[in-house]
Amino acid sequence: MKHSAAGTAPPTGEGRRLPIGPDSPVLCRAREYPAGTVIGLHHHPDRHQLVYAETGVLVVQAGVGRWVVPSTRAIWMPAGTGHKVSCIGAVSMRSLYILPQAIAQPPAAASTVSVTPLLAALIHAAAQIAQPYRADTRDGRLMQLILDELQTLPVLPLHLPQPTDPRLQAIGHQFETAPDDASTLQDWALRLGVDVKTIQRLCTRELGMTFGQWRQQARLLRALERLAHGDKVIDVALSLGYASPSAFTAMFKKRFGQLPSRFFQQP
């Protein structure tokens, strides 16, 4: 099928910038990044962003949160939100930039959403649309369909909140550097010289979860990074302190709804 009179352009490569038309609700930019690339802290003041990788895995840090984003998911970044992106493996990034007035009820905070095969195909096609486009063309209708799809996507539990309290930060650092550490809440209370209930209150207030849920989420997100690198499930499970691969698999499926071996496969 031929494209409309609005025309198309080939996907952009690293370093090329497309002009943003003042009336273009959606812009898609394509970038290719080698493994290990880090995109430093930045923000987009006038547009929301959907950060998506057709291939590869992204680790995104924004404010007091950290997300692991495989190719079957994407992260919604509200306009003005500062964020940093790290590439695990080679990444083919396809970012959508959306005018705030173009979408009725976007997530209020940075969050991970599922990317359906339909949305993935639409984003791939959007990378070839020249800017600016007209709403009454094939290109305009395709971009509108993207906006419609974004309104239906569920938010996924791929987020690890980052505390601001120094005591919780000490615990979080240990989760990061030694995810197999089995120290209990009581152990941490003694180590920090505080009451157990103090840590419990801080976790609820700053993280919205219990101590146990926080540690579990930290381990599972570290597992995602390891699995994205191609590590075996048994090696990941044991390195994170699980008693057996089956215990890790059961916890992973309970949290994410899929087996570890299938998480990175397109539905």
What is the CATH number for 117? 2.60.120.810
> Does 102 fall in a domain?
yes
Q: Which of 56-60, 177-181, 201-205 has the highest mean pLDDT?
A: 201-205
> Does 54 fall in a domain?
yes
Identify which has the larger pLDDT, 112 or 17: 112
> Does 6 fall in a domain?
no
CATH of residue 173: 1.10.10.60
- Cis (ω within 30 of 0) for the bond into 132? yes
> Does 198 fall in a domain?
yes
- Please check whether residues 149 and 50 belong to one and the same domain: yes
Q: Which domain holds residue 232?
A: 163-262
- Please check whether residues 47 and 143 belong to one and the same domain: yes
Q: Are 56 and 90 in contact (CB under 8 A)?
A: yes
- Please check whether residues 141 and 211 belong to one and the same domain: no
- Please check whether residues 122 and 62 belong to one and the same domain: yes
- Please check whether residues 132 and 252 belong to one and the same domain: no
Q: Are 214 and 207 in contact (CB under 8 A)?
A: yes
Among 104, 134, 156, the domain-final residue is: 156
What average pLDDT does the segment 29-43 reach? 92
3-state secondary structure of 11: coil
> Does 179 fall in a domain?
yes
What average pLDDT does the segment 159-179 reach? 89
What amino acid occupies position 223? A
74-78, 124-128, 219-223, range with the lowest pLDDT:
219-223
3-state secondary structure of 52: strand
0.85 exceeded by pTM: no
- Please check whether residues 191 and 150 belong to one and the same domain: no
> Does 12 fall in a domain?
no
pLDDT at 89: 81
- Please check whether residues 177 and 125 belong to one and the same domain: no
pLDDT at 13: 36
> Residue 196 above 70 pLDDT?
yes
Neighbours of 100 (CB within 10 A): 13
| Alpha-carbon distances of 258 from 118, 132, 189, 265, rounded to whole Å | 20, 40, 35, 10
Count of structural domains within the chain = 2
> Residue 39 above 90 pLDDT?
yes
> Does 16 fall in a domain?
no
- Please check whether residues 30 and 142 belong to one and the same domain: yes
Among 156, 174, 192, the domain-final residue is: 156
Q: Are 65 and 162 in contact (CB under 8 A)?
A: yes
- Please check whether residues 139 and 238 belong to one and the same domain: no
> Residue 208 above 70 pLDDT?
yes
Q: How many CA atoms lie within 13 A of 212 on its CB side?
A: 2
Among 132, 156, 180, the domain-final residue is: 156
Tokens of residue 126, six digits = 């959007």
- Please check whether residues 49 and 132 belong to one and the same domain: yes
15-24, 98-107, 114-123, 172-181, range with the lowest pLDDT:
15-24
> Does 15 fall in a domain?
no
- Please check whether residues 137 and 72 belong to one and the same domain: yes
3-state secondary structure of 86: strand
- Please check whether residues 144 and 93 belong to one and the same domain: yes
